[in-house]
Amino acid sequence: MIAVIQRVLESSVKINNEIVGSINQGLLVFFCVENGDTDEKISYMVEKILNLRIFEDENGKMSKSLQDINGDMLIISQFTLSGNTQKGRRPDFTGAAKSDIAKPIYEKFISEVGKVINGKVAQGQFGADMKVALVNDGPVTLIIKR
C-alpha cells in the first residue's frame, strides 16, 4: 500500500467536468493498493495519515495532526504509484493490485477514514479519468508505504 499525501489549503476532483469531491484545509491522499495488500494494512495507514504531525501550530512548528486541526481529506485512487521505472522508458504497473482486489480495499480505506476523521472525507471514483486540483500548503508532500 502506498499513499502520497499533500498538505492542502483546498482541493477538488472533477470527472467529466463535474466536481465530485472537494475539501478545504487538510490532506489530499493519492492511494495505491499493491499486489499482496490486505485489509490488515488499512488500520495502520488510517492511523498514520490522520495523526502525522504535519500542520503548523501558533509558533510555525509542525506539531499538529489532521485530527488536531479538524481538517478534511480527499482520497484519490492512483494505481500509477506502483509504477516501476527501473527498466526502459515505459513504466511497469504489474505491482499494482488488479481492480477486483484493489477497489474493495480502497473503499474500505475510505470507510475507515470516514468513521474516525474529525473533518470531512471526500473521494474520487475508482478507475475514472480524474482531474485533480489543489492548493499545496508549504508545500508539504510525504510518501507512506506499508
Q: What is the pLDDT of residue 134?
A: 98
Q: Which of 79, 109, 123, 126 is catalytic?
A: 79
pLDDT tens digits, one per residue of 95-112: 999 999 999 999 999 999
Domain residues of the chain, as ranges? Answer: 2-145
Q: Which of 38, 80, 125, 141 is catalytic?
A: 80
Q: What is the pLDDT of residue 61?
A: 96
Q: What is the pLDDT of residue 69?
A: 98
Q: What is the pLDDT of residue 94?
A: 94
The superfamily CATH assigns to domain 2-145 is D-tyrosyl-tRNA(Tyr) deacylase (3.50.80.10)
78 is catalytic: yes
Smallest Cα–Cα separation from 74: which of 25, 116, 39? 25
80 is catalytic: yes
**Residue stretches of the chain with pLDDT short of 70:** none
Q: Which of 25, 30, 31, 78 is catalytic?
A: 78
- Do 76 and 124 form a contact (C-beta atoms < 8 A)? yes
Round to whole Å and give the CA distance between 96 and 60. Answer: 38
Q: What is the pLDDT of residue 75?
A: 98
Looking up cell 527498466 gives 87
Q: What is the pLDDT of residue 118?
A: 96
| DSSP-assigned beta bridge partners for residue 65 | none
- Do 103 and 47 form a contact (C-beta atoms < 8 A)? no
